[in-house]
């Protein structure tokens, strides 16, 4: 069964937008094995506590949890394994330089399928302080109230 549009949203990391300021984003492919693709299509994935690191000139997604496939066999995958991300060398060099800056980290924002290939959107993130989080919540509440007033 083919998807009508090429992009199919799978999983989103809403916590990332609450915890961090997202400064820049990149799209990367993910190296998956066996049943991981089927688990992703079934939306059996959690990336809330995951992050990405640059190791030996390669980028890896750490602490992401893709559940074992229900109908898998003894060749099912390890749910917590590190997954290699596919980026250009120039992009990896830029990311490595930026991640070395104090207080910046690489977090996955969403995992989706694009033209049948699994992709992850990585964001260069700077941690928010408690007062920044409160300000974000206050702004969201204000915008929600404004949209309610406009609708009435």
Contact (Cβ atoms closer than 8 angstroms) between residue 113 and residue 41: yes
43-69 in b/e burial notation, b at 16+ Cβ within 10 A?
ebbebbebbbbbeeeebbbbebebbeb
Name the strand (E) or helix (H) holding 12.
strand 7-12
Identify the band that residue 4 occupies on the pLDDT scale cut at 50, 70 and 90: very low
The alpha carbon of 88 is separated from its chain's Cα centroid by a whole number of angstroms, namely 18
Q: Check residue 74 and give its pLDDT.
A: 63
Identify the band that residue 149 occupies on the pLDDT scale cut at 50, 70 and 90: confident
Q: Model confidence over 30-65: pLDDT tens digits?
A: 998 878 888 888 888 888 889 999 999 899 999 988
Q: Model confidence over 75-101: pLDDT tens digits?
A: 666 677 888 999 999 999 999 988 887
Domains and CATH numbers, the chain: 7-151 (2.40.280.10)
Give dist(CA 73, CA 110) in Å, integer. Answer: 28
Identify the band that residue 1 occupies on the pLDDT scale cut at 50, 70 and 90: very low
Q: Check residue 77 and give its pLDDT.
A: 62
Sequence-ordered list of residues with C-beta below 8 angstroms from that of 25, at least 6 positions apart, any chain: 109, 121, 122, 123, 124
Q: Check residue 67 and give its pLDDT.
A: 84
Identify the band that residue 121 occupies on the pLDDT scale cut at 50, 70 and 90: very high
CA angle centred on 38, ends 36 and 42, rounded to 5°: 115
> Is 80 exceeded by the pLDDT of residue 134?
yes
Residue owning tokens 């596919």: 86
**What number of H helices and E strands is found in the chain?**
4, 9
Of 120 and 36, the structure prediction assigns the larger pLDDT to 120
Q: Check residue 103 and give its pLDDT.
A: 80
Output the CA–CA distances (angstroms, integers) from residue 81 to 41, 53, 147, in the order listed. Answer: 18, 14, 43
3-class SS of residue 67: coil
Q: Check residue 152 and give its pLDDT.
A: 74
């Amino acid at each position: 069964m083919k998807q009508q549009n090429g992009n199919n949203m799978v999983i989103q990391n809403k916590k990332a937008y609450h915890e961090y300021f997202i400064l820049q984003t990149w799209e990367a492919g993910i190296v998956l094995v066996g049943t991981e693709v089927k688990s992703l299509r079934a939306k059996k994935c959690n990336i809330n506590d995951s992050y990405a690191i640059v190791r030996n000139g390669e980028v890896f997604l750490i602490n992401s949890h893709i559940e074992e496939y229900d109908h898998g066999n003894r060749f099912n995958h390890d749910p917590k394994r590190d997954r290699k991300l596919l980026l250009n060398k120039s992009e990896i060099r830029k990311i490595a330089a930026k991640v070395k800056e104090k207080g910046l980290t690489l977090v996955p924002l969403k995992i989706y399928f694009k033209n049948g290939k699994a992709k992850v959107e990585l964001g260069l993130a700077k941690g928010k302080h408690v007062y920044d989080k409160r300000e974000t919540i206050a702004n969201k509440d204000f915008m929600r109230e404004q949209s309610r007033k406009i609708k009435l």
